[in-house]
Amino acid sequence: MPEIVLICDPRVAAIPVRECGERPVDVRYSRLLVDRSRQDPEGAFAHVREGVLDRLLAAQAGLPAGVRLLMVEGYRPPELQERYFDQYAQELRDANPQWSGDQVRRAASRYVAPPEIAPHTAGAAVDITLADADGRELDLGTSTNATPEQSNGACYMDAKNIGAKARYHRRILASVLTKAGLVNYPTEWWHWSYGDRYWALMTRSPTAPYGPISLPSTP
């Protein structure tokens, strides 16, 4: 398995952000399927930057007949990102009291990005899977958002402990999203991003066009 660069790597934080000002858009008004069962009251989860949505739609156009993208979560408010990170880090501390703070941070970042560099808070990331024409999720080996502990590492994109059908579906997902310009976070097969600092490092872009944002207030 090739080296995995975790999002807490100092090289990620070192990428400068040159915010382009592109607006977030509501994916529920697009041609993408959205998992509405997991939505927050304000609908923040359904927003991504306009450039991300354009690339998702391009990826969907490249899928085989009868297969569609199903978006689970896009934008995540900073305070929610911080809560997710802190909760998971505490679980790891409790299970591994001998670990240093750095070990906890690195292990936590396999599953939740540290708040200060999280792609979801920039509207740059999506948690996404595949569905059939009727919106039923296809087998990709684990549920979206399965932790490394829960899945015995099967959440990693290149995990070997998944079935042939799941591996085939992951290849389809990776093929269309990579072609559309997104990058995968390899510890989470479902996590893809464009325009954030992790994307910039992986694509050797000198800057990231998307930084943390807040959604406009609704009346």
Residue 9: how many CB atoms within 10 A of its CB?
15
Query: Quick check: 205 and 199 in contact, CB under 8 A?
Result: yes
In this prediction, residue 216 carries a pLDDT of 75
In angstroms, the Cα distances linking 39 to 54, 55, 73, 74, 107 are 21, 22, 8, 10, 27
Half-sphere exposure of 149 (CA within 13 A, CB side): 9
pLDDT block averages, 10 residues each, the chain of length 219: 88 98 95 83 92 98 97 95 97 97 96 96 98 96 95 97 98 98 98 98 98 76
Locate 152 and state its tokens: 């015995």
Q: What is the pLDDT of residues 113-132, one digit of tens each?
A: 999 999 999 999 999 999 99
- Nearest-10 Cα torsion for 57, 174, 167, 12: -130
In this prediction, residue 217 carries a pLDDT of 60
In this prediction, residue 41 carries a pLDDT of 77
Q: What is this structure's pTM?
A: 0.95
Cα–Cα distance measured from residue 146 to residue 164, given in angstroms and rounded to the nearest whole number? 19
In this prediction, residue 1 carries a pLDDT of 53
Beta-sheet pairing, 33-34 with 125-132? unpaired
212 by Cβ neighbours in 10 Å (0-12 / 13-18 / 19+) ranks as: buried
| 103-137 burial: b if 16+ Cβ within 10 Å, else e | ebbbbbbbbbbbbebbbbbbbbbbbbbbbeeeeeb
In this prediction, residue 36 carries a pLDDT of 75
In this prediction, residue 218 carries a pLDDT of 45
Cα–Cα distance measured from residue 62 to residue 174, given in angstroms and rounded to the nearest whole number? 11
In this prediction, residue 2 carries a pLDDT of 67
In this prediction, residue 219 carries a pLDDT of 38
